[in-house]
Structure 1
Amino acid sequence: MTDKKYIQARDGEQNSVIYVTSDGAEFLHSGGTRAWRNNNPGNLVAAEKSGLSIGRGGKFAAFANREDGLAALEYSLKHFYSEKKLNEVFKKYAPSTDNNNPEHYTATVKKLSGLDAERTVGSLTKEELGKFMSAIGQVEGWKEGKIEPIPHARQFQVQGVDGKPLSGLRYLISFFTSNGEQKKIEGQTNNQGMTAVALSDTRTSVQLHLPRPDPGQSLKKQSSKPAGAAAKTVIAAELKTKPWYSQAFSQAAPAEDKVHDEPPRQGDIPAEPAKKTDAVPSPQPPLSTVKQAGAIQASGTQKKSDNHIQEVVKEPGVYVTWEFDTSRGSKDRLNKLPYFVAEMSGDQGKPLRNGQRISLMSNSKIREKVPFGKEVALYLGNDAKPQYRSAPLYRVRANEGLTDVVVRISEIKTKDYDVSDEVPSKPIVSGTKKTYTASLFGTTWLKFSHKFTPEEANTECDGEPQEIGAALQKIFDGDATVNGSVISLNVTKPNKKSMKIIWKSDAFQNCRDTIPMITGLTVAKAEIIPRVHPQTYKAFLKAAFELDASELEIASGWRPMLGSVLHRVGVGLDVKRIVVDDHDLTLNRSPSGADTDYMNLMTQKKRLQQKKTPTDDEKMELKKLAEQEASKRDAAAAAIHKNDKTPIREFIKKLRENNDVKQTFDPWEMDINTRDNNPATPNYMITGNEVLHRNHLHITVRDTELGY
């Protein structure tokens, strides 16, 4: 399942539902049951009053996720069935007039929930209502189907001056994928003048390059000339890709709905008629016709007259690319670093284009097309949020005459900070490409990383126990004390006992190594601790309070140049030690013999798989390793949990149950997505991420504004 946030839903073809994410991407939910496709465990028809529905699939409400669907079901039961006995609910909830059997439905729910049918819905406790809803969900059916991104595509048909298709014409199609990679398709048009399909994972501009004919000649006479880089070509068209619905629907999984599973589900609220999808999928990819209107002047490709190939949908501008090199700094790729490209006017930045949203960097590269004359800059990390944008970085101008501007940024792990090195400088011009250099220091990270205030922390306390709010206030008020090489803070738990939070000096080592102003723990307390998002500390505190821990040690919070970018935007926290019931427990694990056996097998397997021409003996050895792999992996997994420390496992369990927590990595298990219903995987200490977390627990919380 995608971890993007759904904000809209609509009915698709062949019993499918189309979901739209906050960044405009579309995903097709097909197959499975209607309840799963609509994230609607209760198969509610109308859920407007709950305020949670984001659209419809068929005549049923659709929700952003299963949790919202359950919340809407709870709202419906409480507001429209509160006075009804359990054995009366389904006469209205699933009436016989809609091909249901209310008596059978009631008997099944009673059996599954174990509840007295004479009870009213309003008399149920929260736990009993949960059992009742779970039974309804089982009757309605919840079977997962397939989730596929809806592809984007564009195809061209080339016609001559006479309007007839031009076959055998060489062409070049170029476009960029969502991660900034340029794709090129070369070929010849078929007998219908059709090109290949440009298939992309996102909405992007597709350029069609065709041979440039000499004056008075047609494209057809130029068909023998290649459209490669050395050939004289023109941009015949530049258009955006469009969603290719027919392709997505053709790959949709078959539905597994029950025939009778179509009852209204909202009590006294009348069902709205299902809305038809406005767009009827085309039987072919989005197609554009490119027609030759006359000859092209050999002296250039400018549109000096109407003598050009078709209307060129092209906004003149420059591709600006910011490339980040971390080899002299953290040595970690900056994937998923939030960024926002802004058009600058003086010190003020505004969105470069309408509807622009925060994006996440991929492959340590950002690429954007900028109209001529515009000056642009980056807002990075927390600074990408509209309410924080205060430090625009790496400003450049898209000058006419250029096709590319590149800013190569080196992350440098040093305390010798020089603000002038942050400014793109030393431009090198090669043809129509201009390349600048700039630096990224620890102080630069500090500059665009938001320092949260006590007032901002207070906004996280709505609906939370008073002790959570009081503890958060103490963290962001700077109430912690410095004693030698330790920062400590005492907070009060709901049972009125005290809990101590400790940050030792080495928790800030990366900050001291890279930021000149971090001269000691007093400065670290004021400048580093508050850069962790209050929601991160809140999740940590809630789990610790529920466990009744007496002391916890934080190994690391915000830092500029170590590990993933999660710590650098304040949504990551590392826990090293926990004290519960006088048991002082350190989160640490050394490899067992079974671990070592499995690691050695995987290392040997990887070495053999990398051989281009393995010998017969090596092939035989690889086969033996494959036969042993499963048993050695199972032995390693079993050995991992022999040394489980119950309070630590309980602490991690409570974190995973918190909806604000997205990930937990620890010496025993790795849970990359706590909400995907997949169990955590054992930490075999093989991958880099597994080895990194052999001696601490990492917590990642969600920040939907930043895309996490």
Structure 2
Amino acid sequence: MTAPNAETLTRPEAIATDVPVPPVRTVTYLFLTGTWVAANVRSSSEKNIKIPYEVAFDGVIQDRAPDWPRRIIGGTAFTIRVPVGVEVSLFLNTDSLVGARMHPVYAVTPDENDVHVTIRETRGARLETLAEAVLARTAVDERSGRRIDYYDAPLHGNIWARISRVYTSEAAAETLPADADAAIRDAVVSIYRGLDRAQLEIQIGNPPVQTISATFVDSENPRVNISNYSFLRDGLPRVHPLGFFALLDAARVAGATVVNLTSCWRPSLGSIAHRAGIGLDVNIIADDAGSVRINRSELIGGMPTPWVSDAEPHLHRRRGEDRGAWTAEVERNKPPLFQAFRSALEASQHVRQIFDPWYLDANSRDEVPATYNEQNNANAMLHNNHLHITLNIPELL
């Protein structure tokens, strides 16, 4: 092979030209969530909420940069580098998912200065304000010496509603497993078609071999934090269809005739689970043998319940000395219907977390067994009077 010479390396047509590169600015977002939580509470699921998100430049979703967080975390700022003159916006919560992305929020376009946007979450106030960043001031950062435009923006119930996907009956039908029981499938899809009352009567089998009366209970939080809120129109359709499917199908498997579903989608309370429509609660189930109110708060002085014996509070206090005696008493008084219902949920591939008065399982998909609910910390006491599930939706967790 002939070695290249200087003549072949320096052809006249290969003259370099200057390509202008636009200067880059930083855009920093800081979400101050759960502002109603007491200042001395250093960590909470509201102050440090984890919000799914995507970033768009001029409306185009960007690949995740290595230094961007997996989730937006309340109280923790994150920074995006963007060319001057390019609009930055966010898609949040379930509106960040593929197939949604209808409502970009908190858009800013950096020009001469870097940008810092502070989003403050409030409850029940100024619900008419939009998810828009408003310039508050310009100042020089003492550490970097750079000029920064500081913007403020609101976050409240109406905005949570806007960034929470409303599922249609078609989307529900496509989401449910192909081998779903026909009656359960029809019941779930009907929720997204629109119910005229917060109750379903589900006939299993043809001819029917089981009837499930499912009641959906609204909560105060969306009523006081969303304008013109309707539970049937605005609340139920924001729940992920697999949530209703998992609970109703577990009721079918357990032989239940009644299931009471509470704390569906809500905008301004708790972790991301209920706000993203992947958290649901149940407080009552029943079968032909009787009703089970899912409550063991009597263990620490709450309402009386058949599931806490007279002996158990004493055994609970002494569990450090004889744990086996306490757990045996827990098992001895546990209602069979509850165990069947919970076992069905535990077997569901669609369920990721199960918290209830008997057990706590932060990951029901792994091989680590659930632990007993000792009602000795905030999460344990929160779930001493109902069963909670979180769906196994990785892009939202």
User: Residues 629-644 of structure 1 correspond to what in structure 2 (within 5 A)?
Assistant: 630-631=320-321, 636-644=326-334
**CA apart distance, 1:695:** 0.7
Could you tell me which residue of structure 1 aligns to residue 277 of structure 2?
570
Do the aligned partners of 1:474 and 1:480 also contact (CA within 8 Å) in 2? no
Match of 2:165 among 422, 429, 450: 450
Match of 1:397 among 97, 106, 109: 109
Do the aligned partners of 1:380 and 1:448 also contact (CA within 8 Å) in 2? yes
> In the aligned structure 1, how far is the partner of 2:249 from the partner of 2:69?
30
Cα distance change of structure 1 residues 420 and 473 upon mapping to structure 2, 3 Å threshold:
closer
Could you tell me which residue of structure 1 aligns to residue 136 of structure 2?
426
The secondary structure found in structure 1 opposite 2:192 is helix
Do the aligned partners of 2:48 and 2:73 also contact (CA within 8 Å) in 1? yes
**CA apart distance, 1:354:** 7.1
Cα distance change of structure 1 residues 428 and 671 upon mapping to structure 2, 3 Å threshold:
same
Could you tell me which residue of structure 2 aligns to residue 680 of structure 1?
370
Could you tell me which residue of structure 1 aligns to residue 92 of structure 2?
380
Q: Which has more radius of gyration? A: 1
Do the aligned partners of 1:666 and 1:693 also contact (CA within 8 Å) in 2? yes
> In the aligned structure 1, how far is the partner of 2:323 from the partner of 2:116?
46
Do the aligned partners of 1:668 and 1:683 also contact (CA within 8 Å) in 2? yes
Could you tell me which residue of structure 2 aligns to residue 463 of structure 1?
179
2:28 pairs with 1:320: yes
The secondary structure found in structure 1 opposite 2:242 is helix
2:209 pairs with 1:501: no
Match of 1:557 among 250, 260, 264: 264
> In the aligned structure 1, how far is the partner of 2:196 from the partner of 2:343?
28
What is the one-letter code of the residue matched to 1:385?
L
Do the aligned partners of 1:375 and 1:397 also contact (CA within 8 Å) in 2? yes
> In the aligned structure 2, how far is the partner of 1:317 from the partner of 1:421?
22
**CA apart distance, 1:436:** 2.0
Do the aligned partners of 2:35 and 2:47 also contact (CA within 8 Å) in 1? no
Match of 1:583 among 290, 308, 327: 290
Match of 1:332 among 17, 40, 46: 46
Could you tell me which residue of structure 2 aligns to residue 152 of structure 1?
none
Could you tell me which residue of structure 1 aligns to residue 6 of structure 2?
none
Deviations 1:432-472 (A, max 9, x none): 23332221110110011011000011111422222222111
The gaps in structure 2 that reach 5 residues or longer are 1-22, 38-43, 301-310
What is the one-letter code of the residue matched to 2:189?
Q
**CA apart distance, 1:654:** 0.6
Higher relative contact order (CA 8 A, sep 6+): 2
**CA apart distance, 1:558:** 0.4
Could you tell me which residue of structure 2 aligns to residue 365 of structure 1?
76
**CA apart distance, 1:596:** 6.4
**CA apart distance, 1:580:** 1.1
> In the aligned structure 1, how far is the partner of 2:155 from the partner of 2:315?
40
Match of 1:489 among 193, 200, 203: 200
Could you tell me which residue of structure 1 aligns to residue 3 of structure 2?
none
Do the aligned partners of 1:395 and 1:424 also contact (CA within 8 Å) in 2? no
Do the aligned partners of 1:339 and 1:378 also contact (CA within 8 Å) in 2? yes
TM-score (norm 1): 0.46
> In the aligned structure 2, how far is the partner of 1:448 from the partner of 1:358?
19
What is the one-letter code of the residue matched to 1:410?
R
Do the aligned partners of 1:340 and 1:378 also contact (CA within 8 Å) in 2? yes
Cα distance change of structure 1 residues 684 and 557 upon mapping to structure 2, 3 Å threshold:
same
Cα distance change of structure 1 residues 598 and 547 upon mapping to structure 2, 3 Å threshold:
closer
Q: Percent identity?
A: 28
> In the aligned structure 2, how far is the partner of 1:331 from the partner of 1:673?
17
> In the aligned structure 1, how far is the partner of 2:273 from the partner of 2:54?
17
**CA apart distance, 1:416:** 3.7
Do the aligned partners of 2:27 and 2:117 also contact (CA within 8 Å) in 1? no
Do the aligned partners of 2:94 and 2:396 also contact (CA within 8 Å) in 1? no
The gaps in structure 1 that reach 5 residues or longer are 1-314, 482-486, 601-627
Could you tell me which residue of structure 2 aligns to residue 264 of structure 1?
none
Do the aligned partners of 1:472 and 1:538 also contact (CA within 8 Å) in 2? yes
**CA apart distance, 1:324:** 2.3
Could you tell me which residue of structure 2 aligns to residue 646 of structure 1?
336
- Indicate the RMSD between aligned Cα atoms, in angstroms: 2.8
What is the one-letter code of the residue matched to 1:328?
W
The secondary structure found in structure 1 opposite 2:321 is helix
2:120 pairs with 1:407: no
Could you tell me which residue of structure 2 aligns to residue 666 of structure 1?
356
Do the aligned partners of 1:383 and 1:450 also contact (CA within 8 Å) in 2? yes
